[in-house]
Amino acid sequence: MSSGAVEKRLKQIQSRLGLRADGLLGPDTLSRIEVLLDQADLPAARPRDFQLICSRTGLQQIARFEISSDAYYRRFLSHPVWPKGQSGITIGIGYDLGYQTNLRFRKDWQGLIADSDLERLAAVTGVKGEAAHTALADVADITIPLDAANQVYYTATLPAYAARTRKVYPGVEKLPADAQAMLLSLIYNRGGSLSGSKRREMKEIVPLVATADLAGIAAEIRAMKRLWGSELYGLLKRRDLEAQIIEHADRDYTSDELIYV
């Protein structure tokens, strides 16, 4: 069966499940199928390997943090960008090439973009800061389709960062789903280092996660705003929203809201 025929069938299945018919076999679709399997009278199967149980709205919020909306992505972010600071050249949904190995990048994007574009972007993996700014001119003409960006986001990026989040914050998997999603957002945006004065609040969150102190976690996330000036308003707003969502994370969730990442 051709890839086009498989995608068409998957879209039909997603429509029947009440999901967005995007043709991507990501955690949203898999989680919905698993809910239906749990409800069916079937022999118990070995649990699928996952790191976090996040809320659907939380994962969608991370995507909005990164690209604002599908329309905004197509207009402004479908080509490589440099977000300033110590970032690398970024493609797709917050996929920072400066913090990816050449091998990881190739594994994530092989077959989703043209081979020639893959090679050009592979050349700027690991490049950060002003060096990335300079290198941007070499790849700025490359187009990253939104479908490819979504494919990598849901099937490669989120699972990798979920594992990293669990490693940095032991016990995060026991927090409410919204809180798991927002700590994933934090690691997605800032990485997992806990060393140095700029990472003070990141480190302070570790014991708060262990004791499930949602208010304390939210306060530390807000305190991080000391690091950025008003010119980085988007980061300041992101920290405030992450904190707000965590503060209200202790709520009831339906099975349809939960995404296994």
Structural domains in the chain plus CATH codes:
1-68+146-261 (1.10.530), 79-144 (no CATH)
Q: Which pLDDT value is given to residue 34?
A: 64
Please report, as a single letter, which amino acid is at residue 102. N
Pick from 32, 7, 38, 30: nearest CA to 17 = 32
Residue keyed to tokens 């990335």: 132
What's the pLDDT tens digit per position in 159-217? 999 999 999 999 999 999 999 999 999 999 999 999 999 999 999 999 999 999 999 99
Q: How far, in Å, CA of 161 to CA of 211, rounded? A: 22
pLDDT band of residue 221 (cuts 50, 70, 90) is: very high
Distances in Å between the Cα of 240 and the Cα atoms of 34, 67, 70, 234 are 33, 17, 23, 10
Prediction pTM value = 0.75
Q: How far, in Å, CA of 126 to CA of 123, rounded? A: 9
pLDDT above 90: percentage of residues in the chain? 76
Residue keyed to tokens 């262990």: 210
Q: Looking at the predicted structure, is the pLDDT value of residue 235 above 80?
A: yes
Q: What is the mean pLDDT of residues 71-75?
A: 95
What's the pLDDT tens digit per position in 97-155? 999 999 999 999 999 999 999 999 999 999 999 999 999 999 999 999 999 999 999 89
Pick from 205, 184, 178, 197: nearest CA to 56 = 178
